Amino acid sequence: MTYVLRPYQQEAVDRTVAHFRKTSDPALIVLPTGAGKSLVIAELARIARKKILVLAHVKELVEQNAEKYKSFGLQASIFAAGLKQKSLVQQVTFASIQSLSRNLEQLNEHYSLVIIDECHRVSGERDSQYQKVIVALKVHNPQLKVLGLTATPYRMGMGWVYYRHYHGFVRGDRASPFRECIFELPLRYMIKHHYLTAPKEVDAAISHYDFSSLQSDSFGRYTADDMNQLLEKHSRATKAIMQQVIQYSEQRQGIMIFAATVLHAKEVYGYLPEQQTALITGDTPNAERDRIIIAFKQRQLKYLVNVSVLTTGFDAPHVDFIAILRPTESVSLYQQIVGRGLRLSEGKTECLVIDYAGNGFDLFYPEVGSKKGDGDNVPVQVLCPGCGFANIFWGKTDTQGKVVEHFGRRCQGLLEGNDGSKEQCDYRFRFKECEACGAQNDIAARQCQSCHEVMADPDDKLRAALNLKDALVLRCSGLSVVSLANNEHIIKVIYYDEDGASCDEIYDFSKSGARYVFNKQFAQRTANGQTPTEYRSARQVIAGQMQLVAPDFVIARKSKKYGWKVADKLFDYQGNFRKANQLSC
């Protein structure tokens, strides 16, 4: 059997060869689910001249990639305990990362290339399974090439898994597992050119779950206990949802249902036709799981209910209905779930997608690389005042679609130096200022990047102020600016907390020192990312006060002569204390 690569698959291969001829920096390719990553892997393995490893995190992917490669008459080893094979004999080995990381002593040869499928699972931790394997291989080949492939190159809690993009912008940081994205194919391209089935997203009109009251961790995950407690109160909703699923399934071939918890999955399973339905959870024995998957792929089963186990490495092209009954703040996971239904199949014209959990993701929007936050946040474009790069951040828009606020920290644009090197633009929309030298640092920085002084912990400042009898800590929810009636050069900035309490401070714009201090604190911080304004007069500040960003906390000290006097302001706060209008944890 021979194969012919699609044009974009061949381009991905060519880009990989060109990249590794120039450098050994880890690289990444982004291909949507169903784009044929296994063919790209097969071609790269075929043209390799020395031994290579192809790693995956589940046995289904190991087997799928190996079978695709072998189907072309090529020889390969498999190293995966779940497949009952542990061989490294052939030039190409398809391996489970779990099995290989437990047998590092067998990696005692020269390998030229490691390919990691679903590489968004690679963390930056030095003691992770992937890093252990890479370190062991570099003992025998310091110039080892590492290539990752994924449809979703980001992780909740970490963001983008690569540093820079070949189109000329920064995504992650220098510590990201992959140095550069060398090729990316948009989902829209795949659908437009009929390589994938179009998703038909339908609102859950009858009933849906409201998970908005639940608190997630930094990875966008919810606890099973919290979800079970909420779902217990929505048994009627579950019944109504499943009645609608059955109704919409009459003309559908394969239905995948993604439940929130095991208890929830069992409840969902109980509302479906028993002879046509199966349930898979993390506790399902491997043999039983394999039997169910085979039966579903052979269309002996119509409904397949699962809990967090069939989001990657599962290929059943006839699936044409995806019902999402679980919450997630990870658009990566959301895209993986929907991707299960986008593969082409005979007689299939679309894939129905209904999100009963109200996750609210636009399938075609790029992930921003950070936690979404409020439910009404959307990806917004923000031009960098420094280099002009069009950043994509989470933010808020008004009814006309104009950006009114965004939560970006630093410009993601890449600037090319005279020597051809590329560095990230140093413009920061949100920053922590070093009290020692005045340099702007990332809001999470603990040491100044310029003078290397240890930076004051904002939580320490708040704790100290709260322990003082003559100190006031204001959870600032907004500010206003007024002029003093007797002097057009003097303004009063009033800070308000969520309960209506306030304190204020005076700036005399006839004095250069007051102008300098005000601009240093407020000029660059504009809510919608517009070009910073240098405020030269009190009248200019009053006219443009809607653009001023209020600090998160204001610390005032008691003065016998002036009452409460502002001593410190904390902007862009990231810490353990609750900010104004936030729910208590």
Amino acid, res. 348: K
When the pLDDT of each residue in the chain is averaged and rounded to a whole number, the result is 85
Quick one: pLDDT at residue 501? 86
Distance between first and last Cα of the chain: 59
Q: Which parts of 27-177 fold into alpha helices (H)?
A: 37-47, 59-70, 97-101, 129-138
* Bridge pairing between strands 553-559 and 563-570: antiparallel
pLDDT at 82 over 70: yes
Q: Which parts of 250-394 fold into alpha helices (H)?
A: 262-270, 286-297, 331-339
Of 189, 202, 256, residue with least CA distance to 34: 189
Digit-coded pLDDT (tens) for 231-241: 776 667 888 88
pLDDT at 156 over 80: no
Of the chain, the percentage scoring pLDDT greater than 70 comes to 91
Backbone region of residue 359 per phi and psi (left: phi > 0; alpha: psi in -120 to 50; beta: other values) = alpha
Q: Are 112 and 146 in contact (CB under 8 A)?
A: no
Q: Are 497 and 475 in contact (CB under 8 A)?
A: yes
Of the chain, the percentage scoring pLDDT greater than 90 comes to 38
Confidence of residue 170 (pLDDT cuts 50, 70, 90): confident
Of 190, 268, 167, residue with least CA distance to 33: 190
Digit-coded pLDDT (tens) for 38-65: 889 989 988 888 999 999 988 888 998 8
Give the residue-averaged pLDDT of 359-380: 68
Contact partners, residue 162, CB within 8 Å, separation at least 6: 28, 148, 153, 171, 172, 176, 177, 178, 179, 180, 181
Global pTM value = 0.67
Confidence of residue 585 (pLDDT cuts 50, 70, 90): very low
Give the residue-averaged pLDDT of 385-410: 82
Give the residue-averaged pLDDT of 563-570: 90
Strand partners of residue 282:
none
Query: What is the residue whose two structure tokens read 């940081």?
Result: 173
Q: Which parts of 306-424 fold into alpha helices (H)?
A: 331-339
Give me the DSSP letters along 441-490: E-TT-SB-TTT-PBPPPHHHHHHHHHT-TTEEEEEEEEEEEEEETTEEEE
Digit-coded pLDDT (tens) for 443-473: 888 888 888 889 888 889 999 999 988 899 9
Amino acid, res. 181: C
- Exposed, middle or buried, 409 (CB in 10 Å: 0-12/13-18/19+)? middle
Contact partners, residue 223, CB within 8 Å, separation at least 6: none
Quick one: pLDDT at residue 301? 95
Quick one: pLDDT at residue 114? 96
Confidence of residue 205 (pLDDT cuts 50, 70, 90): low
- Exposed, middle or buried, 319 (CB in 10 Å: 0-12/13-18/19+)? buried
What number of other Cβ atoms are within 10 A of residue 28's Cβ?
29
Quick one: pLDDT at residue 368? 58
Tokens of 349: 């014209």
Rounded Cα gap, residues 535 and 518, in angstroms: 8
Quick one: pLDDT at residue 572? 87
Confidence of residue 583 (pLDDT cuts 50, 70, 90): low
Q: Which of 128-142, 440-454, 501-515 has the lowest mean pLDDT?
A: 440-454
Rounded Cα gap, residues 484 and 491, in angstroms: 6
Give the residue-averaged pLDDT of 19-29: 94
| 386 alpha-carbon distance from chain centroid | 26
User: Higher-confidence residue: 17 or 385?
Assistant: 17
Quick one: pLDDT at residue 373? 63
Query: What is the residue whose two structure tokens read 């998957």?
Result: 293
Q: Which of 193-207, 396-410, 426-440, 489-503 tops mean pLDDT? A: 489-503
Rounded Cα gap, residues 282 and 288, in angstroms: 12
Quick one: pLDDT at residue 336? 83
Rounded Cα gap, residues 414 and 424, in angstroms: 5
Q: Which of 86-90, 372-376, 517-521 has the lowest mean pLDDT?
A: 372-376
| 353 alpha-carbon distance from chain centroid | 21
